[in-house]
Every structure is written in structure tokens, then in C-alpha cells.
Amino acid sequence: MKKIFLISTILLTAAITVYFTFGRKKKNEITYKEVKPVRTDIRITVTSTGTVSPQGRIEMKPPVPGRIDSVSVKEGDKVRKGQILAWMSSTERAALLDSARAVSAEEYKRFQEYYKATPIFAPVSGQIILRNVEPGQTVAASDVLLVISDKLQVVAKVDETDIARVKPGVAAEIILDAYSKDVIKAKVTAIAFEAKTVNNVTTYDVETLPNKQPDFMRSGMTANVTFILSERMGVLALPMAAIQFNKESPFVLVKGAKGKPAQQPIETGESDGGLTEITAGLSDDRVVLIPSIQTKSDDEGSNPFMMKRGGSKRSGGKSAPH
């Protein structure tokens, strides 16, 4: 009896295995989704990240060693070329004034008139981005007192695969991490001739200058830069999934005779990776079909271990009360 039960179990297991391996039939059903072309704007862009930095950074150092008498500017101030930014005394003048002050106020005033302080002029017009000195501070000839920037720019790192499309004069949009709601219009001004490779990624520095520098822009800020390579306004467009190719000729599927899909040749333009411009072969109101293949298992009628679906007829009698 046990032997018969064991043989039956083995046969049943084998039958189930054979069924699930070979018995299940799969059907591929093609369904179609209807879409219409839309009028929209298509922009071809390259995105990158960068850092705000001065376009022209000038470090101002004292002409001679000495002591700072006064500073008339602070960080963020805009200055003009030739403007006096600070006054200083040379080491000799500072020593003489200190000695005269020890004698009397009159003597100190007399020495101030005899030995004039040295002015520090702005060499260019721009903005003070660093003040590194205070009145009374002793400085050496190598110390940086002030830093002037004529303009602030964003230096973005662009991958070598995209650098051929980013050229001087290309329009760009800058969004600073600190001011994410403000879009700053800009243009590419220069591209580095030497690449930089970090972690096997080769990039080129691209300098991007704002058309108008906002007051909140600061050197060292992190920025996201979008380079606008091409912009098509109000064009007819379709999702990329709707476009197929016969060799190299694009076409779409439309409703033909008796509602069956038919090929409609088209001409395409720009594509942003999601939508593709349709330049010819299609009107605004034409319905396009996007095919989709669905795979289904045909289990019904082929599974010997399951009953077919559907109710059986009763031969009489009343149904049981609910």
C-alpha cells in the first residue's frame, strides 16, 4: 500500500512539473494607446554644476610695510577706479608719529603735516569681495589687504562628451543653491583648453557670465547651470515611444481602413529625450497609436488539475436559503 502511494506521489509530482514547464501556453497580445500631437516648447540642454568665482580677481597689497591708519570700504561695496580705499603709514612714519605723540599733541599734529600718510587706490572698478585688514593693524608688503572683483561668474564643469556642443555665446540659466527660486540669465564666455580628470571622469571648465549680476550673488556659492543648446517654441510634438523606424525612415501608426493600424511617414526635428518635434507628415488633430505588447498565460482548458471555470446546471430542487 505504501509502495502504491509513493509511486502515485512521484507520478503526480512529475505531471505537475511537466505541466508548468511545457503545458502553459503564453499569448502575446498587442494593444494600442491613442495619443494626439501637442503644441509645446522643446529645449535641448546640457546641465552641470559649478561654483561662483570672480572673473577678474585683484589682490591689493600695501606698497610698503607699515601700519593701517584707516579703511573706508567694507565687503560688498562697489568702488570705482582711482578711489581711495584706505590710508597707511610706512614703518618709519608710524615710528615718528608714535614718538611725537609721546611728546605732545602739538608735536604729533606737526609731524602728521610733515609726513603725509600713503593712500591705497582702487586699481580697477569693481566690488570688494574680501576685506582682510583693520585700522591699527601692522602689515607686511606681502599681506593681502583687500580683494576686488570686477564681475562674478560661474565656472561649471562640463563632461567631455558634451563639450563639443557648448560654445562661447551659448545662452545659459544659473540657479544658485542658496536662492533656488531665482533664475539668472547668462552666457558662456570661455572654455578651458586643458581638461581635468577626477575619478576617471574628464571635464572642462566653462566660464558663464550673468547678463545682470544680482546683489545676492556671492563668490564661492554652488550653482546649477543649464546650457540651452537649442530652443523650439510652439512646435508639434509626440512622445518618443510613438515614433518607429523603417530602416532610417521614421513613421507613426494611425487608424487605417477598418480601424486597423497603418504606417504614416513623418519627418522629425529636435528631441529633448521625452518629446520629439514633428516637422511634416502629421496634423494637430490626427490620432496616433502607440503599440504595447502584453504577455498572458493561457491556463484555462490546459490544466488537468483544475476544473474549468463556469457554473454547472442544477437538475432541479431549490437553492439553499441564504
pLDDT (average), residues 172-180: 95
Task: Quickly state the pLDDT bin for 322 (edges 50, 70, 90).
Answer: very low
* pLDDT at position 60: 94
Question: Which residues 6+ apart lie within 8 Å of 240 measured at CB?
Answer: 271, 273, 274, 275, 276
Fold of 58-149: OB fold (Dihydrolipoamide Acetyltransferase, E2P) (2.40.50)
* pLDDT at position 59: 93
Q: How far, in Å, CA of 36 to CA of 239, rounded?
A: 10
Q: How far, in Å, CA of 197 to CA of 121, rounded?
A: 41
Ranges in the chain annotated CATH 2.40.30.170: 46-53+151-232
- What CATH class is the domain 46-53+151-232? mainly beta
Q: Indicate whether 161 pLDDT > 50.
A: yes
- In this predicted model, what pLDDT tens digit does every residue of 228-281 receive, in sequence order? 998 889 999 989 888 889 888 999 888 877 778 888 899 988 888 888 999 998
- Backbone conformation region of residue 310, classed left if phi is above 0, alpha if psi is from -120 to 50, else beta: left
Whether 271 contacts 42, CB under 8 Å: yes
- In this predicted model, what pLDDT tens digit does every residue of 97-109 receive, in sequence order? 999 999 999 999 9
Q: Indicate whether 9 pLDDT > 60.
A: no
- Judged by DSSP in three states, 316 sits in coil
H helix count then E strand count, the chain: 3, 22
- What CATH class is the domain 29-40+233-297? mainly beta
pTM of the model: 0.63
Compute how many other C-beta atoms are within 10 angstroms of the C-beta atom of residue 166.
21
Ranges in the chain annotated CATH 2.40.50.100: 58-149
- In this predicted model, what pLDDT tens digit does every residue of 18-62 receive, in sequence order? 555 555 555 667 787 888 888 999 989 999 999 999 888 899 999
Ranges in the chain annotated CATH 2.40.420.20: 29-40+233-297
* pLDDT at position 219: 87
